[in-house]
Amino acid sequence: MRDDVRPMFAANWKMHLGPAETKSFVQRFAALHPPREDARVVVFPPYLSVGAFVESAGSRPDLESGVQDVHQDVSGAHTGAVSGPMARQSGVAWALAGHSERRREFGDTDDVVAAKVGRILEADLRPIVCVGETLEERERGDLETVLSRQIRAVLEGLASADLSRLTYAYEPVWAIGTGRTASPDDAAQAHAVVRREIVHGGGAQDGVILYGGSVKPANIGELLQAPGVDGVLVGGASLDPESFAAICSGGT
């Protein structure tokens, strides 16, 4: 992790924790994790739990929140979808775009992800752009090709003034549910590629890049020591307040 970067700890709850569970989580997490000015905590609850999180965290402005996805249109006949302006009105400040599960399960292409990032920015939200290669792509040696394609698709459509508003998250999709493990060295290698492609695409040299692959209290310390890792995007380990608090404390 770079010395001049305020680390970010982001929690993607996916389709877990309803409103009642969310309120209990915030109460417990707030008791375990006092406010810190030297780190940033952002939670991405399911849509129906966003309101409960925003309300419960009202006395803790250091606990930020976001939505897990927005539609690429501002409005329309899109059953089940949520727009950027709707997300903004709910009280969140962030939004994910391009998560591997959205790409795989919902067919979000690079062009769709790029359009969603544009809508997120238009709604005055901060996007976290997720990128990463599958096992097949990695075994073919396509790490750089895939990351370059995903990153440049997003950057090409943005005004230069918006480039500094992007945060990125590298997901080693090849190591999720495959029985393979991504090491801190793997993370450092991939983050170096991501940063290079950001700069080549006109993005900010100092852009924040998170690591999102099976993060847990047991490995957070070594992950944060990996060069180029500015924080983490946590999945399952963020559903338990004790576990996520330990991660946000660097594993201690």
Q: What is residue 252's predicted lDDT score, i.e. its pLDDT?
A: 54
End-to-end CA distance of the chain: 17
Question: Comparing 13-22, 201-210, 236-245, which segment has the lowest mean pLDDT?
Answer: 201-210
Secondary structure element (H or E) that encloses residue 216, with its range: none
Predicted confidence band of residue 5 (pLDDT cuts 50, 70, 90):
confident
The residue annotated as part of the active site, out of 64, 133, 171, 197, is: 171
Residue 67 has pLDDT above 60, yes or no: yes
CB atoms within 10 A of CB 52: 20
Cβ burial 60-98 (10 Å sphere, 16+ → b, else e): eeebbbbbbbbbbeeeeeeeeebbbbbbbebebebbbbb
Per the DSSP assignment, residues forming a β-bridge with 169 are 130, 210
CA atoms lying within 13 Å on the CB side of residue 68: 23
Q: What is residue 181's predicted lDDT score, i.e. its pLDDT?
A: 73
How far apart are alpha carbons 45 and 65 in whole angstroms?
Answer: 8
Report if pTM > 0.85.
yes
Give the helix ranges, DSSP H, for the chain: 19-32, 47-56, 84-89, 100-105, 110-122, 135-139, 143-155, 184-200, 220-225, 241-248
Cα three-residue angle 180-184-189, rounded to 5 degrees? 95
Active site includes 78?
A: no
Residue 88 has pLDDT above 80, yes or no: yes
Q: What is residue 176's predicted lDDT score, i.e. its pLDDT?
A: 81
The residue annotated as part of the active site, out of 33, 71, 99, 191, is: 99
The residue-averaged pLDDT of 92-108 equals: 98
How far apart are alpha carbons 147 and 152 in whole angstroms?
Answer: 8
For residues 42 and 10, the answer to whether their CB atoms sit within 8 Å is yes
Residue 85 has pLDDT above 80, yes or no: yes
The residue-averaged pLDDT of 211-221 equals: 94
Domains of the chain: 8-248 (3.20.20.70)
Angle between helices 184-200 and 143-155 (to 10 degrees): 40
pLDDT digit string, tens, across residues 138-192:
999 999 999 999 999 999 989 989 999 999 999 999 988 676 778 999 999 999 9
Q: What is residue 250's predicted lDDT score, i.e. its pLDDT?
A: 87
Give the helix ranges, DSSP H, for 108-200: 110-122, 135-139, 143-155, 184-200
Residue 4 has pLDDT above 80, yes or no: no
Residue 210 has pLDDT above 80, yes or no: yes
Question: Comparing 24-28, 80-84, 197-201, 233-237, which segment has the lowest mean pLDDT?
Answer: 197-201
Active site includes 156?
A: no
